[in-house]
Structure 1
């Protein structure tokens, strides 16, 4: 009798243990499912976002391309738009995953493996999946996800090889799947042909810029009347770059008018450190010749015709035809309708600051001089100077090289 009682207790305990484990698994599945459906935080003040998201979603739905590139310079709002698109469309797919800081993570040790495991978990919700190495991970992703219609967002991609390391080829996805990438390089998906479609993020217009700035500076959708003129000065300076509007709005919030005037004067002379750190990411990704071309344009050639600049830089063995196109692809410069080189004021200021930091106190030690006062100071210090004078179409350009 005692033996039977003991056996019964064991069976009861085993059944209770199994039931508890079963219930625990159900709770975890529900919890994971709810967590997976939780929308991403987009931004505090989504000014100008909805119209851009609507346009891109409309284009995505009418386009058979399964890789969508959202490109533009740093601080333009690519990540914000990608998150908003993800929130609005993820429930239309069998599985979805948003991988942030992709450039940074894919470059770290074991970063690709971590990204692969995150991708598999986010879509399959199996926390026991381990890929071992990136080659096995690529195979696992293809085998397990190729039968599913998925949405995958890769935020901040700067090299196509990063995507290949994660996924291998991109032609195995089920029909209707979409890979959305944010990048500063519009040339990134050129090798994919019809499989790739790119959309450029434009700056905010005047009204949108004023509203976004006001939300951060005044917690209102428009500025105070006695600050309107100063606010418009900031809007003019930022040229519709959301990052700059947010940082400057927060910086000026609650400050007096004299402080505003002093701050605006400083902005126009010295780059804001937070803004410059974001913009410098693109510059640091260039090779040395491309960096030289960028700095030359920032210091001397903004507003000059593309052909004229190519002629000048070609004589310096800088291979400008290729180099200038690379800068255009990286959204560091642009060419207007009159074939003149253009550059965002923040990028130009960043370029000049890079040169200035070569020797903050001694202009003669810098690689380039563009201010009359600095040139005069250097010449009067008996520095050996080579002066190059170039005439073209009635325009005289003078360049100084110091040795």
Structure 2
């Protein structure tokens, strides 16, 4: 070995024949600093193990030891191997990411070879001769994008006969491979066959000889148009993946019970239905039909899938109904019917006691039948008479449900069943893009609810009292929202985030941020974490003791140092602005991330919101309250004579999604919150608990302005 890194026994002639193993990993050396000499290898006649990663061969390579048992050369830099190479003792041969075009010519005795890995060798044109490789168990050719031909010794005119011991065959990413060979004789050892992304159009009927297959993947085979019935006779098959096979229009009938098949992925195919014989898959746990645009029927025999846990029908836009027998699949835990034409799901679905996740997101569009609208109450219809909203029966039977997504379902006022409060296991509730004015009051009974999302609910005017353990609330883009008063009255959670971005009617009353903070502090007597809210606003409340123009504020010799025992926490805020209709947002999906940090601490606070909001170009106020415990955990030290708080565009700071997102902090503030300020809340809020969103208009501005001040 030459150049800057070398071993004495390699540099000198004597002793080299004693070397039996050599490992060189560029992890320990700078890139391209290790260079190997061809002469050095010619002296290592007893080398049995060679493991090399990304090194240079300036003089080519003329010899490698005939005693090699392991050859692992990652990123081999040459086009071929030495012509005199003997590999009769080789057990594992690995040359992933190499530049090799052809390994060798002719036949080599590979009697002991068990593993060959040539993955991502993008220049490899054809495979070596496998005539004398009877014990080969694993062959990896994934990502060999120029591979057009497999040597006739493996195929023997497209017939696999010489490698009966083969366990794993990976040809994924061989983009130019158009035909899979016929199989002759028993190949019961082959367990994994991966053909993802190849150019094959069909599998041969002789694939029935691969009856030991456990995994068969054909993801993204864009030209695959049919499957042989023989696939349904694989008794050992556990995973069958056909995702993205866009020309596949039919799934074959299942002719015999396949008890071991647990995953069937048909997402992105062109199939119109699955056969009624699917009931012969009693062990199936996952059935994925996502984005099957032509899929229109779920067979009633689906109740035969006694082990099914996940059923994904999302994006099956022609699917109008699901059978009532689906409710008999007691094992089902996840059901996704989003973006389908289903408007009246069977009541049996809402009685599934083990269901944990249920999504109807986007089930709101043109009716599948012109007469549907004649049977619907007016309050269940969307803004247009040509849209049909989702119809929901009682929800009480979903006793195990932890996540419910009813976003964009056209739900009007009163369309959400009042018994939603009986979903005592619910953690996440998504109701964005609906048409209701308020939520059922029973929502405050959802004791385990942590996240509530109601973005772009244009008719939402006010919030009911939220459940006590809520953590995240998003009402961004709710343009009719005029009040938040009372929403946190029952709050007991130590830490809550409320986002009201682009809910511009809240601008009428500038005091909402402070009212919400005080309401939170009254409800949570001893907060241990933080409170955060973002609402429309362009001014720092006068209540803040320290204020400054710009994106940072420095506090020197704070007066509260002499009253630390009376402080319950610290309030921090900033006013930020996003330019109207950012061109970056128009071009691609985008999100903003605003960070608050303190000098001397590497742990900051963030808010993140989608680029679809703040298109109006208005200013917003971010108010953050930190408990002393949270400050201690993050090493934010306010008990000092000097500290600095800063706000910045986190994506620009860390060069995420490019710089110059346009997010600008205009001004900021800091305020130590004293115990007596929290106690004053009781009298203030009691005067307002009887008000609703309907009487919070111009006549009330003076009162709120006094609170603001």
State the TM-score, normalized to the length of structure 2. 0.19
Relative to the length of structure 1, the TM-score reads 0.29
Larger proportion of helix = 1
Q: Normalized per residue, which structure has more strand?
A: 2
Rg (Cα) greater in structure = 2
Q: Which has the higher contact order (CA 8 A, sep 6+)?
A: 1
